[in-house]
């Protein structure tokens, strides 16, 4: 079954639209938003509803309050930023359920926007509690999921809530996410290249397993590369290695090769004598990592190798940095790869999280075809899983 989207609803006019969004944005110590991409990403869906004079009720979580009401996790900063971006007042409700919220929603005028307080102030959200979901849905007419980044979670505002609406649809952000994913994985223009980085193999084993039957090339960087390199017999010093996954890494590597997939690993790296931005560093080949030193970035020869591997790519999927890019001494490999991907003649799709941050810091954001708003959700799609939030949209979108 196909997902229905908000522009397929026959009549939005003056309806009360409950919209699940993901405004889980980073804050500084003064509760100021430091990066608002996730808020900006849903503006098209909000504005579409407002064009029909709908009454828009926005629901999100922020941080991990673990079912308790904690002021530092209030949605107030998000409501304030959204108000500025929309150019109109966004009312912050004192809660997300209850009599006071009901009064505010019933008093809404066409074109009003209300932001509910943090959903995760209630344990029922993460427990997918139906009573909590019913309370959220009360007094609303239409459900819209435009929160791809949490759609891999079976939470009350994502899954259980869909039982209590006659109309269940997705927003334009979700539409973009699904369309680009299908372009990359269901019917890609080849060669299709997957770049995987980050610290650990363990978080991406299922991704690798799935990609071994779908892509033409796999490029591995970041800390996870050193589990593979050790599996191939290299001495990697004190570099991060998941010892219990060495045999699994070896089998994954061999499976890719047996399937005719070109598998690229670093040939040199930037090593340090300690995990510290002030550490002594040098560039060495993989064969010459000194005993007691650790690799924290890919080296210049590896950047050249990986960039060459991208030359004929028509579709590129990337998730995970090439090194500890938060420290300047170990950022060059990741930023060089951002440039190589951004300047390729390919459809380029970047997974959320750290990779998104790296693309922004490198100043190449505008050159990437699509940057996903979801880290975990993006990875689970790459694993071939059906996300709970997507599944209920397919099942309930036609009722």
| Integer-rounded Cα radius of gyration of the chain | 23
Sign of CA dihedral 194, 327, 359, 362: negative
Cis upstream peptide for 72 (omega within 30°): no
Tokens of 358: 């790296």
Place of tokens 């779908």: 214
Task: Give strand ranges (E) for 229-306.
Answer: 262-264, 268-272, 281-285, 294-298
Can 200 be counted among the known catalytic residues? yes
Q: Give CA–CA dist 1/117, Å, rounded.
A: 33
Tokens of 185: 């994985």
Q: 33-39 — which CB contacts under 8 Å span 24+ positions?
A: 33/77, 33/78, 33/81, 35/357, 35/360, 36/81, 36/85, 37/356, 37/360, 37/371, 37/373, 38/149, 38/373, 39/78, 39/81, 39/82, 39/85
Q: Which member of 4, 15, 20, 38 is catalytic?
A: 38
**Secondary-structure percent of the chain, ordered helix, strand, coil, rounded to 5:** 40, 15, 45
Contact 162, 393 (CB under 8 A): yes
Contact 293, 271 (CB under 8 A): yes
Q: Give CA–CA dist 96/42, Å, rounded.
A: 20
Main-chain dihedrals φ then ψ at residue 10, nearest 5 degrees: -65, -40
Task: Give strand ranges (E) for 201-337.
Answer: 217-220, 262-264, 268-272, 281-285, 294-298, 315-319
Can 353 be counted among the known catalytic residues? yes
DSSP summary character for residue 220: E
Q: Which member of 221, 333, 353, 389 is catalytic?
A: 353
Q: Which member of 200, 250, 262, 385 is catalytic?
A: 200
Beta bridge partners of 315: 192, 347
Q: Which member of 376, 384, 385, 391 is catalytic?
A: 376
User: What's the number of CA atoms in the CB half-sphere (13 Å) around residue 86?
Assistant: 27
Pairing mode of beta strands 294-298, 268-272:
antiparallel
Can you say how many angstroms the Cα of residue 319 is from the centroid of all Cα atoms in its chain? Answer: 9
Positions annotated as catalytic residues are 38, 200, 353, 376
């Amino acid at each position: 079954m196909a997902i229905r989207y908000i522009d397929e609803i026959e009549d939005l006019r003056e309806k009360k639209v409950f919209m699940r969004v993901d405004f889980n944005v980073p804050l500084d110590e003064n509760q100021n938003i430091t990066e608002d991409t996730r808020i900006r990403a849903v503006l098209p869906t909000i504005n579409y509803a407002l064009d029909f004079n709908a009454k828009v009720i926005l629901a999100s979580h922020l941080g991990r309050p673990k079912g308790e009401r904690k002021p530092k996790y209030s949605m107030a900063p998000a409501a304030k930023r959204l108000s500025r971006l929309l150019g109109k007042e966004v009312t912050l409700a004192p809660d997300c359920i209850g009599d006071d919220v009901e009064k505010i929603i019933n008093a809404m005028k066409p074109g009003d926007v209300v932001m509910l307080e943090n959903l995760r102030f209630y344990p029922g959200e993460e427990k997918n509690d139906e009573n909590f979901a019913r309370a959220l849905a009360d007094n609303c007419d239409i459900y819209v999921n435009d929160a791809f980044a949490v759609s891999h979670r079976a939470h009350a505002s994502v899954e259980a809530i869909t039982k209590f609406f006659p109309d269940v649809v997705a927003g334009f952000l979700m539409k973009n996410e699904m369309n680009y994913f299908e372009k990359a994985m269901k019917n890609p223009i080849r060669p299709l290249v997957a770049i995987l980085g980050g610290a650990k193999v363990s978080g991406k084993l299922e991704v690798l397993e799935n990609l071994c039957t779908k892509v033409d090339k796999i490029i591995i960087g970041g800390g996870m590369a050193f589990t593979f390199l050790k599996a191939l017999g290299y001495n990697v010093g004190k570099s991060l290695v998941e010892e219990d996954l060495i045999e699994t890494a070896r089998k994954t590597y061999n499976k890719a090769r047996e399937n005719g997939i070109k598998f690229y690993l670093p040939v040199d790296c930037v090593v340090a004598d300690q995990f510290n931005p002030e550490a002594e560093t040098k560039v060495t080949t993989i064969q010459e990592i000194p005993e007691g030193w650790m690799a924290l970035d890919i080296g210049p020869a590896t950047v050249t190798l990986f960039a060459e591997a991208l030359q004929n790519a028509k579709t590129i999927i990337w998730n995970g940095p090439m090194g500890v890019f938060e420290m300047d001494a170990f950022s060059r490999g990741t930023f060089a790869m951002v440039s190589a991907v951004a300047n390729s003649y390919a459809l380029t799709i970047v997974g959320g999280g750290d990779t998104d941050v790296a693309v922004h810091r490198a100043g190449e954001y505008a050159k990437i075809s699509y940057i996903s708003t979801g880290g975990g959700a993006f990875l689970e799609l790459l694993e071939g899983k059906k996300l709970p939030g997507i599944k209920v949209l397919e099942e309930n979108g036609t009722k």
